[in-house]
Amino acid sequence: MVKRGGRPVLEGIGFTLAPGEALAVTGRNGAGKSTLLRAVAGLVPREAGRVGWTDKDVPLVEATHYFGHLDALKPTLSTADNLALWSKVAGAPGLPVIEALEAVGLDHLEDLPAAYLSAGQRRRVAFARLLLVRRPLWLLDEPTAALDAAAEATFGALLADHIASGGLALVATHRPLPVAARALAIGAS
Ligand SMILES: Nc1ncnc2c1ncn2[C@@H]1O[C@H](COP(=O)(O)OP(=O)(O)OP(=O)(O)O)[C@@H](O)[C@H]1O
């Protein structure tokens, strides 16, 4: 059980997620989708219940990549420098910065200060982060918000690759996912 502002938001929710699986978390505005992802990530405390993680080699916190609503970009740093900084802080090497930018179609903007990126471009940078730092469990909160059709297709390809390589994804979304996924509906409709 998880409370927000002293009020119970999540109660009686249970699910499992296996390697190579995606789970779409659906529900009305305010149902608690973001709260669920944040609770799994350890960003909000649980009053009761548990999050199990069976990989003995890598603890859950190090296995998790949380993709939230905020893009966490330093406005005066270039797109590439933002990613380089983040890569250094987060560890777990994945693709080099320029390759991650290429994968999301932003390599032509590597020198642009992040302050000038559009909303959709900022989301694409957030996708690039998923590739810079390889982690098996993706917690994605409304990943397709502000995306055009091309970016949505790029996201679909990234998610499909992640799942195909044994990754796991828990995705809060109001839209159908671009990969085969089980659904977890939360909150009263
Ligand atoms: N810090 C907070 N303090 C008090 N209430 C909060 C806080 N954060 C979230 N809530 C409340 O918790 C409930 C669940 O919010 P949450 O953001 O998890 O919903 P959601 O399903 O992701 O919604 P949406 O589809 O609108 O993004 C909402 O009623 C929200 O107002």
Name the residue of 1, 2, 3, 4 whose CB sits within 8 Å of the most ligand 1 atoms, as the mutation to test its pocket: 4
Name the residue of 3, 13, 34, 175 whose CB sits within 8 Å of the most ligand 1 atoms, as the mutation to test its pocket: 34
33 within ligand 1 shell (Cβ under 6 A):
yes
Share of the chain above pLDDT 70, in %: 98
pLDDT of residue 108: 95
46 within ligand 1 shell (Cβ under 6 A):
no
* Angstrom distance (rounded) from CA 1 to CA 13: 8
ipTM: 0.94
Looking at domain 2-185, does it have CATH number 3.40.50.300?
yes
Token pair listed for 58: 């890598």
Question: What tens digit of pLDDT does each residue of 32-54 get?
Answer: 999 999 999 999 998 888 899 99
Q: What is the mean pLDDT of residues 105-129?
A: 94
Q: How far is the CA of 33 from the centre of ligand 1 (A)?
A: 8
SS3 149: helix
Residue 38 CA, closest ligand 1 atom number: 18
pLDDT of residue 188: 59
> Is the pLDDT at 3 greater than 90, yes or no?
no
pLDDT of residue 92: 65
Residues 6 or more apart in contact with residue 14 via CB below 8 angstroms: none
pLDDT of residue 145: 85
Token pair listed for 67: 């993709």
Ligand 1 atom 26: residue of nearest CA: 29
Q: What is the mean pLDDT of residues 127-133?
A: 93
Domain ranges of the chain: 2-185
With CA atoms as reference, report the closest residue to 81 among 128, 21, 140. Answer: 128
User: Which one-letter DSSP state was computed for residue 83?
Assistant: H
Confidence of residue 127 (pLDDT cuts 50, 70, 90): very high
27 within ligand 1 shell (Cβ under 6 A):
yes
Q: What is the mean pLDDT of residues 106-112?
A: 95
User: Which one-letter DSSP state was computed for residue 36?
Assistant: H
Q: What Rg value do the Cα atoms of the chain yield, rounded?
A: 17
